[in-house]
């Protein structure tokens, strides 16, 4: 009996991931220039100019990679770096979850005969 696994569709997931990365890196420089969230509230209430300090711990301050003179490339690269960071975090979290509880579920269901798991 074969179990359904995500890895059976590995090529499809890889293609979808590559399309997502390309779209994010190419389209992020043309995102809306209008502020949102806290920046919008600060602009509406007149205290936007008081927040001049940049956090030293920020990985990519203001969504641009420093040292690159072309803003389109700088913003696109920042989007790509953000994707890599998020994939790493999600991979680590899901891997730790599957190691902690996945073995118990697999052992419990392996002995069942005649159950379609598709």
**Where in the chain are the domains?**
7-30+60-113
Is the pLDDT at 112 greater than 70? The verdict is no
Ramachandran angles phi, psi of 72, nearest 5° = -65, -45
Contacts with 85 (C-beta within 8 Å, 6 or more apart), sequence order = 59
Tell me what pLDDT residue 22 has: 85
Tell me what pLDDT residue 100 has: 61
Q: Could you tell me if 50 and 38 are in contact, meaning their C-beta atoms sit under 8 angstroms apart? A: no
- Token digits for 75? 């913003």
- Residue 15 DSSP SS3: helix
Residue-wise pLDDT tens digits, 30-88: 877 776 777 788 888 888 777 766 677 777 877 788 888 888 888 888 888 888 888 88
Q: Could you tell me if 72 and 78 are in contact, meaning their C-beta atoms sit under 8 angstroms apart? A: no
Q: Supply the pTM of this predicted model.
A: 0.56
Ramachandran angles phi, psi of 21, nearest 5° = -65, -45
């Amino acid at each position: 009996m074969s179990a359904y696994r995500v890895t059976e569709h590995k090529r499809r997931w890889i293609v979808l991931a590559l399309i997502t990365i390309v779209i994010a890196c190419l389209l992020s420089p043309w995102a809306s220039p209008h502020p949102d969230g806290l920046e919008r509230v600060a602009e509406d209430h007149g205290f936007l100019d008081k927040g001049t300090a940049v956090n030293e711990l920020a990985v990519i301050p203001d969504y641009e990679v420093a040292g690159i003179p072309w803003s389109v490339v700088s913003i696109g690269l920042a989007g790509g770096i953000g994707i890599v960071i998020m994939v790493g975090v999600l991979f680590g979290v899901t891997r730790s979850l599957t190691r902690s509880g996945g073995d118990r579920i697999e052992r419990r269901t392996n002995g069942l005969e005649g159950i379609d798991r598709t």
